[in-house]
Amino acid sequence: MTTISKKISKTSNVPKIVKNIKQTKLKGHGKINKKAVKSSKHDEGEDAPIKGAAYDLVVVESPSKAKTIKKYLGRGYQVVASNGHIKDLPKSKLGVDVKDDFSMELVPITGKKDKILKIQQLAKSATKIYLAPDPDREGEAIAYHISEELGKKKSIYRVLFNAVTKQAVKAAIDHPTELNQFKYDSQKTRRILDRLVGYKISPILWEKVQRGLSAGRVQSVALRIITEREAEVKKFVPTQWFSIHAPMAKGGKSFEALYYGKNNDEKGELLDIKEVKKILKDVEKSGNKFSIVDVSKKERKQNPSPPFTTSKLQQDAANKLGFTAQRTMMVAQKLYEGIQLTKQGMQGLITYMRTDSVRTEPEALNALRAHIKKSYGADYLALSPIMYTRKKGAGKVQDAHEAIRPTSLDLSPDDVKGDLSKDELNLYTLIWNKYLASQMSQSIIDQTVVTFECGGHIFRANGSVIKFPGFRTIYLDSYGEGKEDDNILPDFKVGDSIKANGATESKEHWTAPPPRYNEASLVKELEEQGIGRPSTYAAIISNIQDRGYVEKMENKFFPSELGLVVCKMLVESFPEIMDVAFTAKVEELLDQIEEGEVKYKKVLKDFWKPFEKTLDKAKEEMKNLKKQQIPTNVKCLKCKTGEYFIKWGKNGQFFACSNYPECTSTEDFKKHLDGSYEIIPKKYADSTCPTCGKRMVVKRGKYGRFLACEEYPNCKTALPYVLDVSCPECKVGQFTEKQSRYGKIFYGCSNYPNCNNAMWTMPKKFKCKKCGYPVMGTKESKKNGKSLQCPKCKFTVPISETPFDGEEKKD
C-alpha cells in the first residue's frame, strides 16, 4: 500500500462517534468504555459514517448478519449488531414488582452498555432507523428495547425478513412495518413467568436440598418427563416370547417363513415353550413340507413429508447426524445469517430456522417444482403442488415464517461444499434433500405375502420390491436409510408345496422396556406434549444437563440421583407447576397474547395468586434433606461399631458412618423393594494413588466417572477414569472417559494435547476384520441392537460375535 493510500484509508476509518462520547450521558448505564466503542466496529465489519453524508441505520442481532446485510445494502446504510438482547431483568434480584401490575426492572446486560451507546450515537445522525432483529418473540423484545433506548423518534421502523438474501432484505427495507406490541407482551409474559418460578422456587431448594440448585418453569417439567420414563424402565418386567423360523430356498433364492398363527385370520403369540415344542414337532411330523395356501400382491405408495420445522430438523439431525439440539441450532444459525462463499460473497443459505410452519411461499414452491423437473425428470415431480398444513391443534406461534428451506436452488451442497465446515455441509445437505423431496413423486413399493400351511399351522414370508423410488431417491438415499433392500420372493402358486431348506427352529426373545429418551425422542415428546417451543428445546435440554439433574450416557438421558430427588420434591410441593398439561396451557396462553386475544396482565394475575399460596406452603412443608439422617441398621464396614445413616450429598444419597468424624467411612447403596439396603461394592482401579499409595476408587460425579483415593477426605487425589484400551494412534496414551461442554460422554487419549485422538463411543480392544484397526466402538440401535463399529472404515459387527457378548448383556 502506498503512503497516500495509507493516509486515505486511515482517515476514512476514523469514526466521529468517539469524539462525541463525552457529550452523551446514558442514564443509569454507568461509565462507558470508549476503547470498546471505538473497536467494536471492526468486530462487525462496519464502515464509519462519512461526516455530513446522509445514511439510514439498520440494527440486527448478530455481527455476522450485520456483515452480510451491509454488503447487500451498500452505501447509504449503516448496519450495527446488538449482539442479542441488550436489556434483561437484573441477576441479583427478582426485578418484577407483583404489586405494581408486574412491572419489570430492565437493566443493561453486562457488557452491553457500550453497545447501547454506539447504537444511540449512530441513530442520532440517521435519517431512518430500521430495527431488524429476528422475526420471533425474542427478536421483537430486542427491537422494543432498542427503541426504548433511542427515545421517541418518528423515523423508527420494524423490518422482518425470513431469509438473509439480497432480495429478501431489500424487500423488507422497502416495506417496513411497526413494532408489534402483542408479540412483545407475549415475550414479557414468558420472561416474567420464568423469573417468578425460578427466583421463588430455587431459594427453597437451596435451603432444603443443596445450594446452587435451580428450578425452571419448563425445564422442571422436561425433567419430570425423563424421570417418569426412568420409573417405567425400572418397573418393567420382561416377558418371554418365541418365534419360529423355517428356512426356504427356491430357484437360487433363499428366504425365511415365520410362524404366523393357528389360522390365517389372526396372528398368534408364542409365550409358552410347550406350545412352541408342539408346533416344531407337528412341522417335523409333516416332513417339513409347506403348502402354499395364499399369495397376495399389493402395491403400496409412500408420500413425501413436508420441509423441516425446527423440531423436525432437530430430530433428524440427531438421528442421522448425531447432533445435539444445541449443536443443530448453532450450525443452522450460521447457515441462516450468512456464509462467505467464494463466488457469491456473503450469502444466507437457509431461511429462518425457528419456525413451526410446514408451508412454502408460492414463488419458492414454483421454483422448486421447476428445479425437480429439470434435474430429475417429470416422473419424479408430484403431479400437482403438495400443500402441507400443520396438524390440528398446533399453536399459532412462529407459523408466520416458512418451513426451513434453502434460500437459493442455484446453491446446491456440491456448489458450496468448499466453503462450508463439515457440520455446516452435513446440515445444509439434510435441509436441501428434505426440501427437494417434499415436492417429489410418491415412492411405489410392491409387497408380496406368501402364506404357507404346515402341520396344521400357518407360516408367512414377506417380500418387497421398490417399483419406483420417487422422493426416496433424494432424501432417504442421502443419509444412510436409502432404498429398502429388494427382498424378491420366488414365484408361487396356490396349491404348490415346498420343503424347508433345513430344520425349522425357534428363537427366544424378551420384551423390552420403553426406551429411555435420546435427543430426537425427547424433542419429539416435548413437541407433542406442548412443552416449550422449538426455539427453546435446545436450551431446555442443555439446562437440565448443566444443573446435574440429567446425565447423557450412550446417547440416552438418565436422571441423576439429584434429579430424581429434586423432581419428586417439586412434584409434591408444586403439582401445578410440574404438571405437563398446565405447562402446555401456559404456552397456549402465550400464543393467545401474541394474537391479541387475551391481556398479558390477566394471565400473570391468574398465575400468581395460586402460586403465591403454594410457595408459602412449600416453605413450611417441603422436606429438608440437609438435616435428614435416615437410620438403616446397617453396621459400618470400617469401624464395625458405628451404624450407617443415609445422608444427602452433591451427587445424591450415600451411607455415612454415625461415628463421623472419627470414622469417615462412606458407601454407595441401593434400596430394594422390600425396604432392605444393599451396599454396592466399590470398583477399584488397577493403579494406586500417586500421593499416598492407597487404592483408587471409581466414582461418578457431575462430569462423568473419575478415580478418587479411598482415603478421601484425608487424601483428596483425583484422576481421570482411564480405560484399559491403548490409543492406536500415538501408542503412548490410553483412552480416558470425558464429558463435553454439552454433557455428552466421549473418550479421548490421555496423551492429549500431544494426541487428539477421540471417540464418541466406548472403545473396545477388538481388531476390525475389514481394515485391521485395533479398536472398535460400541454402538446400539433399535434396528441392529448392540454392535461394534470401526471408527475408521465404519465396518460393523454384532456384539454377539465378539468376546464382549456376555459383558454387554450384563450392562
The model's pLDDT over 542-563, given as tens digits with 9 standing for 90+, comes to 889 888 889 888 789 998 878 8
% of the chain at pLDDT higher than 90: 56
User: Exposed, middle or buried, 265 (CB in 10 Å: 0-12/13-18/19+)?
Assistant: exposed
Q: Quote the pLDDT of residue 804.
A: 66
DSSP 122-174: HHHT-S-EEE---SSHHHHHHHHHHHHHH-S-TTEEE---SB-SHHHHHHHHH
Residues in the chain: 811
Helices (H) and strands (E) in the chain, counts: 21, 36
Which residue in 72, 130, 259, 352 is the catalytic one?
A: 352
Residue 272 has pLDDT above 80, yes or no: yes
**Grid coordinates standing for 743?**
454433557
Q: Quote the pLDDT of residue 25.
A: 35
Q: Quote the pLDDT of residue 47.
A: 55
Q: What is the pLDDT of residues 562-587, one digit of tens each?
A: 888 899 999 999 999 999 999 999 99
The C-alpha atoms of residue 706 and residue 420 are separated, in whole angstroms, by: 37
Q: Quote the pLDDT of residue 46.
A: 54
Q: What is the pLDDT of residues 733-744, one digit of tens each?
A: 889 888 776 567
Q: Quote the pLDDT of residue 238.
A: 93
Closest to 152 (Cα-Cα) out of 179, 173, 134, 132: 179
Closest to 306 (Cα-Cα) out of 389, 244, 241: 389
Enter the DSSP assignment of 788: E
How is the chain split among helix, strand and coil, in percent rounded to 5?
35, 25, 40
> Left if phi > 0, otherwise alpha if psi is -120 to 50, otherwise beta: which for 322?
left
Nearby residues of 731 by Cβ (< 8 Å), 6 or more positions away: none
Q: Which residue has the cell 394471565?
A: 603
* pLDDT band at 703; cut points 50, 70, 90: low
Q: Quote the pLDDT of residue 612.
A: 93
Closest to 356 (Cα-Cα) out of 172, 541, 591: 591
Reported pTM: 0.74
First-to-last C-alpha distance (Å) of the chain:
67
User: Exposed, middle or buried, 506 (CB in 10 Å: 0-12/13-18/19+)?
Assistant: middle
Closest to 530 (Cα-Cα) out of 583, 487, 474: 583
- CB count, 10 Å around CB of 258? 14
In the residue annotation, 388 being an active-site residue is answered as no
**Grid coordinates standing for 552?**
447423557
**Grid coordinates standing for 538?**
435446545
The C-alpha atoms of residue 48 and residue 169 are separated, in whole angstroms, by: 21
The rounded mean pLDDT for the chain is: 85
Residue 86 has pLDDT above 80, yes or no: yes
Q: Quote the pLDDT of residue 327.
A: 93
* 204 phi and psi angles, rounded to 5 deg: -65, -40
Q: What is the pLDDT of residues 447-482, one digit of tens each?
A: 999 999 999 999 999 998 888 999 998 887 443 344
% of the chain at pLDDT higher than 70: 88
**Which range has the top average pLDDT, 74-78, 360-364, 368-372?**
368-372
The C-alpha atoms of residue 705 and residue 686 are separated, in whole angstroms, by: 15
